[in-house]
Each structure stands twice: as structure tokens, then as C-alpha cells.
Amino acid sequence: MAELKLSESRDLTRIERIGAHSHIRGLGLDSSLEPRAVSEGMVGQTSARKAAGVILQMIRDGKIAGRAVLLAGQPGTGKTAIAMGMAKSLGLETPFAMIAGSELFSLEMSKTEALTQAFRKAIGVRIKEETEVIEGEVVEVQIDRPAVAGAASKSGKLTLKTTEMETVYDLGAKMIEALGKEKVTSGDVIAIDKASGKITKLGRSFSRSRDFDAMGPQVKFVQCPDGELQKRKEVVHCVTLHEIDVINSRTQGFLALFTGDTGEIRAEVREQIDTKVAEWREEGKAEIVPGVLFIDEVHMLDIECFSFLNRALENEMAPILVVATNRGITNIRGTNYKSPHGIPIDLLDRLLIISTQPYTEEEIRKILDIRCQEEDVEMAEGAKQLLTKIGVETSLRYAIHLIIAAALACQKRKGKVVELEDINRVYHLFLDVKRSTQYLMEYQNQYMFSETGEGEEDDVHATVS
């Protein structure tokens, strides 16, 4: 009964926000990189997912760096979903930085500096460090408190043992306080970091497992350590190059990481850091983990940014660059020249291009099922069929938006399951692009600045049809 209450309290305290891609858990591939039909929140796009999986495997093996991948497809075909799936599949060890193309133009720094920072956020450094640790089972803790308060500081003795030896350590005031905080008693197995004095409680010794009749389920039993009390252990820290840059370039040091006020970092600082990291690599103290930098809406970058990307990808410490766009043949920003996807030909030549296809009716239905589950909405079969039809005729995004709106309409009439009438109601309340354009054409004369020429009217007709 107590366990039940615990899980309930955890559910209440957990804060989860349902986002557009919060249902994505990975790329939905099996061990041989073959895409499953519906898995980890991913539906359809089998060839694009398989291609992303191959790139993912190369990233994990550390085989590629400084390569670039383009996800190209119409709006609403799952480009960002594939990038999110890649991020989830990589795990926490591999850095994944995400920016939108238009972000660079609204920052208080130059475009190239913002791109450099984004690149360095996507390169991880795994730093290995050897520390001396005292590890053993506590035999006895003796603390002598002075009779008169404030007369002298506390002193004490700590007896630790392993299977082979036993030693008594003198304790100072700081160590006594740390032992008190961790609630260390005889029978506990502890580890003490010699450099920092940090005490870690590893668990309770098996030899003391019968000391009490009743014990909480959180009590963990461990074997008494063997060998010597003092051991050397390897600790691995994972940081990004950008974090090292910030810590070394600002007067407030690592606090700038939390405030976000990193500012422009001087090239000399970066050069020194690169030299130091290269030294650590040669000595075997550190290894570079090339991560992934995802730039969404890459057509929003201008010709200067594209030139910089060309040069940055040739750098020996470059991450894997994944860019996405939904544009066809359009102007390169900052020029009058047209190019496929709004990207210069020289950069397109460097890209591995993965194209996404429009979803079929069956796939739209499966995606809507997943979204209903994610948003905790119960929907009748007829309502799902109608929503699928709306998704096919208008757009998948519009159909997904109607799910929560229909659930609220259902709540208002005190219903439990979303029915056809709820979908019908919100469909008439919220217009899609085609109906909104049609409405504008009918009433354009009543709007301000509505001087549309014949050519523009043809474009509008094309949008509606």
C-alpha cells in the first residue's frame, strides 16, 4: 500500500509538457538497422529512417566527423521528427545541439560567432582523471564533543576495514560534519575522495544484514571491499568544447553557462583550448566525441553563413552537421541567384541528401492514434476516421491541432469519448489554410491594403486548389 502511494506522489510531482515531438522516443529501427512500421513514435518514412540509422551508427562508431546531411521534404513530412529521433537514439553521452536558421540573426553577436558556438556545443570531450579513494566498511565512529560549547572543535576517530586490513583515521571538524550529513554508522560501506573529502555511501555490509528485524526497501547491501583501503580510480567527465571556452573566457567563469551571457569568445582563447585538448588526447587523458549539430530551416541562412559552414566542415574538430529545409528551388538569401533548397551548389555537393515523402492515409491514421495516446484523449472510431480524412485533405499538422481542441469540446458537453460532433464543431471553429484563403478571396475588398493584381489572384487560386 505504501508503494502505491509513493508512485502516485511521483506522478503528481512530475512536470511534463506535451510538445509537437514529445511522442518521439527514437528512430524505430531494429538491430540490423531495418525500420519497423510503427516503433518509438515513428511512422512511415522507412527509407529516410534507414538512411538516418546508417549515419547514426557511423556517429556511434566515431567513423565520421565533418560530414553534413540534408533532410529535404515538404512541410509536415517528419524532418524534425527524424532529427529528434536521432538525438534520442544517441543518448546522453553524445552531444546534440539544435538551432533554427533564423536564430542567428537575432543574437547580440556576429553570425559567424553564433555558428562557431553552435559547432563547439556539438563537440564533446571525455576527460579521464585518476583520483585516490579510500573505500572500506565502517567498524566504528568515535566523535569527542567538548564539554563546554565553543571551547574547542570536535575531534574523533574513524575505523575502516577491508577483507585484508583495518586502519584508524583521525577526523577533523569538516569530516565529522560530512559523516553526520551522510548519516554514516558502523556497518556502512563508504568511499572517501581524498582530494575533495567527499563521502559517498555505497550501501550496508552483508555481514550486518541481520542486525535489525525490520529494514526499509531502499537499504542496499554490498560486499565488504577487498584489497587495500586506498585505491586509485578512474573518473570520466563529459563536457563540450563550448563549456570549456566559456569557463576560460569569462571573469565569472562557469556561472556564464547558467546566465547564458557568454558573449563573443576570442579566437586566441579557443586556439589555446584546442592545443590543450590535443595535448590531452596525445597523453590519453581525453578523447573527442564528435556530436551532432542540427540546423532547422537552413534556407534562412545567408550566403556568408553558407561560406562559413563550408570552411567549418573542413576543420579537424567538426561535428556531424544535419540540416533540414522544406524549400524547393528558391533564392539564396543575400543574393539574386536561385538554387535547389536555397543552398549554394558548392555546399549542396558536400551534403548527403535524405528526402522525406508525404504520408499516406494509413500512416496519417497511425500518427493520429499515437498523438491521441500522447495527449491522453479517448476518441471514437468514427471520429478518428473523420480526423484522418481531414488530415489527408488539409494537412497532418491541422489534424493534430484538432485533437486537443476536440477533447476540450467533449469536456464542455461532459462527455468522456470524443465523438464525430466534437470534431465537426472544432472543424468549423478553426479554419485550415485552404478555407482561410477562400474566405480572404471572397471578402478581400473589406480588408485593409487589399490591392491584389491578376497575377496574385492566380497564385491564390492555385493555393486553394
Multiple choice CATH, 125-284, 3.10.180.10, 3.30.420.40, 2.40.50.360, 3.20.20.370: 2.40.50.360
- So what CATH class is 361-444? mainly alpha
Q: Is the pLDDT score of 251 beyond 60? A: no
| Banded model confidence at residue 218, pLDDT cuts 50, 70, 90 | confident
For the stretch 172-177, contacts whose Cβ atoms lie closer than 8 Å and that sit 24 or more positions apart, written own/partner, are: 175/199, 176/143
| Banded model confidence at residue 5, pLDDT cuts 50, 70, 90 | very low
Nearest 5°: the CA angle 333, 334, 335 is: 95
Domains in the chain: boundaries: 17-94+291-358, 125-284, 361-444
State the average pLDDT over residues 288-314: 90
**Does the CA dihedral 322-324-328-330 come out positive or negative?**
negative
- So what CATH class is 17-94+291-358? alpha beta
Cα gap 106→144, rounded to integer Å: 62
C-beta atoms surrounding 143 within 10 Å: 13
Do residues 333 and 300 make contact, with C-beta atoms less than 8 angstroms apart?
yes
Q: Is the pLDDT score of 257 beyond 70? A: no
Please give the model's pTM, rounded to 2 decimal places: 0.72
Q: Residue type at 55?
A: I
Q: What is the pLDDT of residues 137-184, one digit of tens each?
A: 888 888 877 666 554 567 788 888 888 888 888 888 888 888 888 888
Q: What is the pLDDT of residues 33-79, one digit of tens each?
A: 888 888 888 888 889 999 988 888 888 777 676 788 999 998 888 88
Quick one: pLDDT at residue 3? 40
Cα gap 338→372, rounded to integer Å: 41
| Banded model confidence at residue 215, pLDDT cuts 50, 70, 90 | low
